[in-house]
Structure 1
Amino acid sequence: MDHVSYGSAFSGGSLTVPPSKSAAIRALLCGALAMRTSGRRCEITNLFDCDDITVTRRAAEILCADDGGEVDCGESGSLLRFIIPIAAALGGRWRFTGRGRLPQRPLGVYADLLPAHGVSFKNESDGKGLPLIIEGRLTSGRFTLPGNISSQFVTGLLMALPLLEGDSEIILTSPLESIGYVDMTMDVLRNFGVTVRAIEGGWQIPGGQSYESPAYQVDGDWSQAAFFLNIAALSPIGAKVRMGGLRPDSLQGDRACIEVFGGFGLDIRWEGDELVAQNLYAGEPFGGLRGQRLDVSNITDMVPAAAICAALSRGETRFENAGRLRLKESDRLEAMKQAINALGGRASEEGDTLIINGVERLSGGLAQGCNDHRVVMALAGAGLRSESPVEVTDAYSINKTYPTFFDEYRRLGGIANVFQLG
């Protein structure tokens, strides 16, 4: 098993944040649909090689060429939930597979919606999850679903319904969570010439549309920037981190990491086109950091990094409305609680709330990475304020979204020693 050992050294410096995986997956699928509907290839720039992008590229190639086929979604929940209704709109027989926790991640919204609109929905194994076979062609109409589920279901429908012959509506029966991701989808669709109209409680989608083929540049990933804000906050010497590649006007919901880590006490500011972060009070008790109360329903991907910052901040931090973290690559509420406690911190759960009471220093030791890239990267910050090194299992789960994270961290003076056990 691959482990990584994080130490307490960090000198800081400059980096370019990787492109947004979320925006890239949307753009690659829209590019494939542009190829199908307009016959012109789209130029998508500023892409980043990682496991989720690799499987999306392959899926896009299949969409370009076939009415039916088999799509391996790897461990990408975004790809799976986006491509199911897209494939249904194109028609034919499609089979979807995946690995890790992906076969167990919920798809029930589509199991309810698709058969009512002409598409059969059959799980090969235990009646749920993957492998999944759909067959038929999606028909237009009204699609009603709750808003307190993953916004990926809404995005999948927004991308698919413009391809249908008739007009459609998406109607939400409860308030939408993770609204930033749907805003990102709308922005990408506009770039590809697709019209979607917001209406009360949902969206109206004209049918018979064609995707255009613009030149599309993917902007920097704010969810990855959160890991380096966490590292800057916990640097024992107040090292400065400068990040390029981020858009201050980005529609990514995780741009809220500025407010989240600023709320802990990190100094964050723009200098030209770089985001600069530094803990100005690193030498004070708790590094000058303070706990806070956060509603994370719209920023779930940020929780692992913010949880480590909370573990070393004065007082209590509460991450509320965090239930959807249980349905990620791991149960991230449980994973972060167990990791923090294993390292000498104090974390507990109360329903769908993660509660952390800060300590000045962690003891170090072994934490489980739970084969979850965000858990593994978040724990780099724990090593900066631990009495002994922090060892984390499943080190190479970072390949899912950020395979160069350890290299980048070491380039900035951090310690990340990867080794094999067994």
Structure 2
Amino acid sequence: MPNVKFLPYTPCGSVTAPPSKSDVHRAIICAALSGGRCTISPVALSNDIKATIGCVEALGAKTEIVNDVLSVDGTDIFKNKSAVLDCTESGSTLRFLIPIAAAGGVEAEFRGSGSLVTRPIGLYSEILPQKGVTLESGGGLPLKISGQLKSGIYRVPGDISSQFISGLLFALPLLRGDSDIVLTSPIQSAGYINMTIRTMEKFGIEVDVTDTGWHVRGSQHYIPSDYRTDGDWSQAAFYLVSGAVNGEITVKNLNTDSKQGDRKIAELLREFGAEVIQEADSVTVKKSSMKAIEINASQIPDLVPALAVCAAFAEGTTKITNAERLRIKESDRLKSTAALINSLGGEAVELPDGLEITGTKSLIGGTAKGFNDHRIVMSAAVCAAGSQNPIICTDALSVNKSYPQFFEDYNSVGGKAEII
């Protein structure tokens, strides 16, 4: 995989946030389950989104994309009673679709690549066999499932990936009987679950919040709908941080009423001391003197790499905690984020569940590993806003996992990225 060189730069201008990957995943699944024809727009074909499209097609849906409009026809969903679903490197795709395939009574083999092959599916291996589903796996992928998922009570810990809970929420309305998801510990990444419920509601499914989790009525039907996706707050965070570090950036297409938990980036940048101006559908961030803060990342794990870069330029020591789940992302993201900052002349200490970053006025630059992790490469790009010298980062094309247009958009707001 090629490297990328980032030259020092001053962020300026405006950029449009790409479609939210998290939102698009959910819309594709709901559209496929609707049994009818739907459109979703705008859609950007990142590798993860391609994985979800391929998997719903394997289950019988048909799709077509013209420009940035994706058409999904779910008329034949679950007509294929055996299927191979290649999730490539997309954890969302895998964890969403395991219970969905089981709800459809599909004998399915799930495959993947990269780090996804070893990422845990432990919760499903514990609870699905109690509900009529047989799982065969050597501990990761490939995974084979068979049987028919049954309704009932699902007891799940809240401190696992929210993707497991979202997967169950998608599947349970398809079953004949009512079901309850009962949390056995406090919830983390609640914003992602709220996104799932909101998208399901747009497609006609009702989920009731209870004191202990969620109640899902059985025998519901997803209704075909044309769906408009949100801009991606997770990706916007990289630009907003760059403005806080050394410039002024406006990011458009950001719904301030979004259910995305990562919209908290605006509030956190204010806490750091940056100047933040929020309007109905855009956020502007201007450089200002920043000071260290304390961050509980339990609800916003995807923001940690970008926040760590911001902390590298804030006076004092910033502490990020409750982020232990980042160890099982595309990379061990606590280790790789610390390595990125340290390799460029910053000071980051890895904690069991987070990071401590002591700020400096600038970074030196140099060579950094991308760890084949899209968020680490994009974080390296932001570091260049406060670097004295160029930064060379490995694994440049890992950004295609979530944001294929990143380098082009980055260069449009003053960045200087060159694939080498």
Could you say which TM-score interval applies, normalised by the shorter chain?
Answer: over 0.9
CA drift of 1:215 comes to 1.2
Aligned residue for 1:298? 299
Alignment of 1:394-413 (within 5 A): 394-413=395-414
CA distance in 1, matches of 2:14, 2:106: 49
Task: Name which of 61, 69, 90 aligns with 1:76.
Answer: 90
Amino acid of the structure 1 residue aligned with 2:102: A
| Percent of aligned pairs sharing the same letter | 46
Q: 2:293·2:319 contact (CA, 8 Å) conserved in 1?
A: yes
Aligned residue for 1:136? 147
CA distance in 2, matches of 1:361, 1:83: 44
Alignment of 1:146-161 (within 5 A): 146-161=157-172
CA distance in 1, matches of 2:11, 2:99: 47
Aligned residue for 2:55? 59
Matched, 1:311 2:318: no
Can you list the C-alpha shifts for 1:138-179, whole angstroms capped at 9, x where unaligned? 011111110000000000000000001111111010000000
CA distance in 2, matches of 1:176, 1:388: 42
Aligned residue for 1:351? 352
CA drift of 1:131 comes to 0.4
SS at match of 1:251: coil
Distance change (3 Å), C-alpha of 1:272 and 1:203: closer
Matched, 1:253 2:249: no
Matched, 1:48 2:44: yes
Aligned residue for 1:374? 375
CA distance in 1, matches of 2:58, 2:31: 12
Matched, 1:213 2:209: no
SS at match of 2:387: coil
Amino acid of the structure 2 residue aligned with 1:361: S
Amino acid of the structure 2 residue aligned with 1:13: G
Aligned residue for 2:24? 24
SS at match of 2:37: coil
CA distance in 1, matches of 2:103, 2:209: 21
CA drift of 1:350 comes to 2.4
SS at match of 1:24: helix
CA drift of 1:372 comes to 0.4
SS at match of 1:29: helix
Amino acid of the structure 2 residue aligned with 1:115: P
CA distance in 2, matches of 1:120, 1:309: 46
CA drift of 1:11 comes to 4.5
Aligned residue for 1:165? 176
Amino acid of the structure 2 residue aligned with 1:98: G
CA distance in 2, matches of 1:197, 1:384: 45
TM-score (norm 1): 0.93
Amino acid of the structure 1 residue aligned with 2:23: A
Amino acid of the structure 2 residue aligned with 1:317: T
- Stretch of structure 1 that moved more, 63-72 or 288-297: 63-72
Aligned residue for 1:242? 250
Q: 2:173·2:219 contact (CA, 8 Å) conserved in 1?
A: yes
Distance change (3 Å), C-alpha of 1:213 and 1:130: same
CA drift of 1:271 comes to 4.2
Amino acid of the structure 1 residue aligned with 2:140: G
Aligned residue for 2:113? 99
CA distance in 2, matches of 1:271, 1:172: 36
CA distance in 1, matches of 2:263, 2:388: 32
Aligned residue for 1:285? none
CA distance in 1, matches of 2:218, 2:395: 45
Task: Name which of 233, 249, 269 aligns with 2:244.
Answer: 233
| Aligned-residue CA RMSD (Å) | 1.1
CA drift of 1:7 comes to 1.4
Can you list the C-alpha shifts for 1:57-101, whole angstroms capped at 9, x where unaligned? 111222234222001101110110000000000003100011110
SS at match of 1:242: strand
Can you list the C-alpha shifts for 1:204-229, whole angstroms capped at 9, x where unaligned? 11111110011110110100110001
SS at match of 2:34: helix
SS at match of 2:169: helix
CA distance in 2, matches of 1:200, 1:360: 47
CA drift of 1:388 comes to 1.4
Q: 1:305·1:379 contact (CA, 8 Å) conserved in 2?
A: no
Distance change (3 Å), C-alpha of 1:11 and 1:339: closer
Aligned residue for 1:14? 14
CA drift of 1:272 comes to 5.3
Aligned residue for 1:321? 322
Q: 1:10·1:415 contact (CA, 8 Å) conserved in 2?
A: no
CA drift of 1:387 comes to 2.1
Alignment of 1:260-271 (within 5 A): 260-271=268-279
Can you list the C-alpha shifts for 1:231-287, whole angstroms capped at 9, x where unaligned? 11122xx3x2121111110010001010111221221112453221111x3xxxxxx
Consecutive unaligned residues in structure 1, runs of 5 or more? 282-287
SS at match of 2:305: helix
